[in-house]
Amino acid sequence: MDPRYPPEAEEFRNEIRKFLAEKLPRDWAGLGALDTEDAHAFTQRWRGILAQQGYLAPAWPKRYGGAGLSKIQQVVMVEEFAKADVPVRGANDNFSIKMIGNLLLRFGTDAQKDHFLPRIISGEYRWCQGFSETSAGSDLANIKTTARLDGDDWVINGQKIWTSEAATANWIFVLARTNPDTPPHRGISMLLVPLHQPGIEIRPITMITGAREFNEVFFTDARTSADNVVLGVDQGWKAAMALLGLERGDEAATNPILFRAEVDRLIALVRERGLAGDEIVRDRIARAYTKVEIMRFLGARILTGWLRGDPPGVEASVSKLYWSEYHRWVTDVAMTLLGPAALIPEGRPPLRHFRTDDPGAPNSTASWSHTWLTAISGTIYAGTSEIQRNILAESALGLPRESRA
């Protein structure tokens, strides 16, 4: 691991800082300082600026709407955007660009790249992820949704759940069983499916915070073109694993910055509550600071491999387990500091549905309490802590595989 950046990366950092200074308002205090409505409006405008500059997908070739930057330049850009607290992408773009867009760029056919990638950048196509089912969460290979070829179309039947942003998307990448006569991992395909068609029903799910970002998606003889399959028929498990690895690429750069900004907010909360002299509180703050510094070096280790072109391996499981368990602990510390006031959330709730609230957010009880509720789910979504520990035990430590029923 080498946490240092080459001189050319620092030169590009100055370019990004100049870009931010030119495009942001003079009184910019961060997305977290805006109220909910203004923050969403700014994010939409900012997405258009990034698309015009090629910065929505900076490492994509210019022919697809990117900027043709190197991976190290992309990491530098993400770092500077996080420090300035401006969005790296717009709504749905985590799924549209970071997930399916990057997967198609790497594994898609030329026709798929030419058709889908420019429309992702323009915002014409907005994506969501159709993986989890009621009986297939951590055990993803247990999916029951099926797809069969009917002439030039796939016909899809089944159900997906916990589908983030499905209500605002118009395309979904779906894992479906296309070969029931093979072992579970080998009979799955990843299909690209338009959402706005007969045979697809989307039902919102109210989260514990009151938000309705999650959804159920039902498929009843829904259709998509036979060409809309990624990596080939029955290669969906390989496509899914590749996608999950790509998902954690630039998170290695952004997570430590976001969590460090949250520690700074926690320190401010301690001072507001007059608890800076409490030895137990000081010990917990020191522990939070230390854990975030460790997270920063874990991120540097992942980035070192990522910049060499090596997809994250067991390091991704270490990182996921580390930040999610840490976040449950540190938000519990915040709720303890708030005391009875935490029972009555007041003020602006978080702008983010995942991870931390935005840097610069006010220390409202609503911000902390909703972030705490979200942190509880962090040890479940994107791979439960139990699954991550199994992966590390078997892949990193070489322990015997867990017995299967």
Known catalytic residue at 293: no
Q: Which residue out of 247, 251, 262, 315 is catalytically annotated?
A: 247
Pairing of strands 171-177, 127-130: parallel
Residue 379: helix, strand or coil by DSSP? coil
Cα torsion 135, 138, 142, 146 to 10°: value is: 80
Helix (H) or strand (E) run with residue 203 in it: strand 200-205
Cβ-proximal residues to 85 (8 Å cutoff; 6+ apart), any chain: 30, 31, 32, 261, 358, 359, 360
Q: Which two tokens stand for residue 216?
A: 């159920």
Q: Is-contact 296 256, C-beta < 8 A?
A: yes
Q: At what angle do helices 251-272 and 314-338 cross, to 10 degrees?
A: 10
Whether the CB-CB separation of 150 and 169 falls below 8 Å is answered with no
From the list 201, 154, 151, the residue with the least C-alpha distance to 175 is: 154
Q: Are 382 and 327 in contact (CB under 8 A)?
A: no
* Residue 231: strand, helix, or coil: coil
Distance CA 247, CA 103 (A): 10
Q: Name 189's bridge partners.
A: 176
CA dist 90 and 124 (Å) reads 13
216 contacts 153 by C-beta, under 8 angstroms:
no
Instruction: Quote the tokens at residue 288.
Output: 């939070």
- Distance separating alpha carbons of residues 291 and 294, to the nearest angstrom: 5
The tokens describing 80, both together, are 């500077």
Q: Up-side HSE of residue 323: CA atoms within 13 Å toward CB?
A: 31
Please report how the helices 365-378 and 314-338 are oriented relative to each other, as an axis angle in degrees rounded to 10: 150
Within 10 Å of residue 325's Cβ, how many Cβ atoms?
A: 16
Q: Rounded to an integer, what distance in angstroms lies between the CA atom of residue 138 and that of residue 386?
A: 9
What is the rounded CA–CA span in Å between residue 199 and residue 183? Answer: 28
Which residues are part of the catalytic machinery? 247
